[in-house]
C-alpha cells in the first residue's frame, strides 16, 4: 500500500481543481491518501527579504514534510492567463528554498481543469516541465476542459471519453507506485 498526498495548486475556496482532486481520490483503492486544501495555507509572497526576516512558517515545513513522507502525489493545477497561478508558483518557490529536491523520487499524477476548452493545459505544461527540476517523476497527466459542462458533483466526469482518459491516467500513475 502506497502513501499518497493529494492537493490542488489553488488557494480558492471554490477551486474546481480541488473538486477534481477530491473526485480522483475517491477512485483510488488500496492506498492511504491524505488530501490537503491549499486554500487553508496562506503563504506570503516569496522574497529573500521575507525569508531572512521571518524564516519558514510551520505550515510550510509541515507541508514539505507531508510531501516527503509519501510515495506519490496527485496534483491538479489551476490556470491564470495560460500559466500556473501565482499562488502555486509561490508555493513551489518556498518549498524549493527549504530543500531544492523536495520532490525527489516522488511519482506524480498531474492534472488540470478550467472552465474553457483548453482545460488548463497551459498551466499543466509549465508545471510538467518544472516539477522534475525538484526531483519529481511525472507518471501521467490529464486535462479536463469545460469543467462545468463535463463535471457533476455527484457523478464526477460526465463525458465518457474524458472519464476513460482520466481513469487511464490514474491507472498509469497507480501502476508506477
Which residue do the cell numbers 507541508 mark?
Answer: 63
10 Å CB burial of residue 124 (0-12, 13-18, 19+) is buried
**Alpha-carbon span 25 to 27, nearest angstrom:** 5
pLDDT at 117: 97
Domain count, the chain: 1
Predicted pLDDT at 9: 96
Q: What CATH number corresponds to the domain at position 32?
A: 3.40.50.360
| pTM, to two decimals | 0.97
Q: What is the pLDDT of residue 133?
A: 98
Q: pLDDT under 50 in the chain at which residues?
A: none
Q: For residue 175, how many other CB atoms are within 10 A of its CB?
A: 10
Report pLDDT for 42.
85
Instruction: Output the pLDDT for position 22.
Output: 98
| Exposed/middle/buried for residue 51 (C-beta within 10 Å: 0-12, 13-18, 19+) | middle
Domain of residue 68 covers 3-176
CA distance 128 to 132: 7
Give the residue carrying C-alpha cell 510515495: 71
Quote the pLDDT of residue 59: 94
- pLDDT tens digits, one per residue of 5-26: 999 999 999 999 999 999 999 9
Amino acid at each position: 500500500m502506497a502513501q499518497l498526498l493529494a492537493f490542488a495548486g489553488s488557494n480558492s475556496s471554490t477551486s474546481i481543481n480541488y473538486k477534481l482532486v477530491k473526485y480522483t481520490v475517491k477512485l483510488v483503492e488500496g492506498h492511504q491518501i491524505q488530501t490537503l486544501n491549499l486554500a487553508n495555507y496562506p503563504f506570503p509572497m516569496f522574497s529573500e527579504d521575507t525569508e531572512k526576516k521571518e524564516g519558514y512558517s510551520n505550515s510550510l515545513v509541515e507541508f514539505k514534510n507531508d510531501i516527503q513522507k509519501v510515495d506519490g502525489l496527485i496534483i491538479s493545477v489551476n490556470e491564470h492567463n495560460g500559466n500556473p497561478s501565482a499562488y502555486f508558483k509561490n508555493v513551489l518557490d518556498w518549498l524549493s528554498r527549504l530543500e531544492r529536491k523536495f520532490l525527489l523520487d516522488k511519482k506524480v499524477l498531474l492534472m488540470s481543469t478550467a472552465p474553457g476548452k483548453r482545460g488548463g493545459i497551459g498551466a499543466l505544461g509549465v508545471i510538467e516541465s518544472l516539477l522534475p527540476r525538484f526531483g519529481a517523476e511525472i507518471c501521467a497527466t490529464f486535462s479536463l476542459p469545460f469543467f462545468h459542462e463535463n463535471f457533476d458533483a455527484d457523478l464526477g466526469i460526465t463525458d465518457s471519453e474524458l472519464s476513460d482518459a482520466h481513469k487511464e491516467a490514474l491507472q498509469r500513475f497507480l501502476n508506477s507506485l
